[in-house]
Structure 1
Amino acid sequence: MDNLKEYRMEPLEDRFRALAEAIERESVLVHRAALIDGYRDIYKFSTFGIDKLIKKAAEFGGKKGAKILKERYNVYTDRLDEALEIITVIAESSRLIEVFEFDMETMEIRVEGSILVEAIGKSNKPVCEPMAGFFAGFLSELLEKKIDVKEIKCAAQGHERCVFKIYIE
């Protein structure tokens, strides 16, 4: 992939600055309170399976986002660590979470300050599966591999942070 080499040759700061600018151009401003209220209302129907539908929609959104980055901005990589660095920029730009970290050894993503936890509060089950769907879709499309992501710990359950496990099929 010639584009992959081009992307890697640019200085890291320039790549991330361009990525952040692309996110700003491609994103739509939605009021934080509206997102919180909307997710809280929809989450009430999770016992009817709507949560799986929401996760699938978020996965589609992740795929679409990665496809836009590839097609319009020549962002290509075949490395998981680089793809996760890109998600870090997206996460920090979105303000939907406060902290995004990943660990390549454990194949985990760790999130603090999730807007979805803020919307739901305490829960017996994880509430950030839509984020897992977005991560899975984005990584699958960008890396061109089947990747699944599952939330294994959630701050809504009383854990210090939300933890997502990455599975490469």
Structure 2
Amino acid sequence: MGNPQLAKAAFDFEQYMRRVSGGPCFVCAFIAGDPGYRHHLVYENEDSIAFLARYPTLLGYCLVASKRHLESWVHDMEQREFLRFQGIVHAVARAIAATLPTERMYSMSLGSQEGNAHLHWHLAPLPPGVPYDQQQFHAVMAENGILGVDDDSQAALARDIRSRIQL
């Protein structure tokens, strides 16, 4: 699926902050079909959705979210629902790793009441060969640059990942 270590471009963090703090919930807007919040779909069922990140720092970086606007997996999900959701996170992560060379799959729940409050999980596949000082938090922080991926490549990658999901 191409070189997993593509060149990175500068990330306009100020514009991003305006968008997330002043715009609608990005997950709800995507689910509603708002063209300004379009993403490449990787997986969808009645409760959950997975899609490629709009500003990827690593090739194959996906987000997995509940379709319901939940803001806390600790307070808003019962254990059974959380475990079912994590089964989807796991299946998507395995599909990403089956699609792209992956040394380590980073998985984290990020967001804030000030922006991106909708509960979502980040799946970020670290490719082999990345120097240690560019791994872990450095690898996932947009402030360190985002990949210059084009829409057609992202669409093809989403299709490839989607074809490998096994639940």
TM over 0.5: no
Say which structure is richer in helix. 1
Whichever of the two has the greater Rg, that structure is 1
**TM-score class, shorter:** 0.3 to 0.5
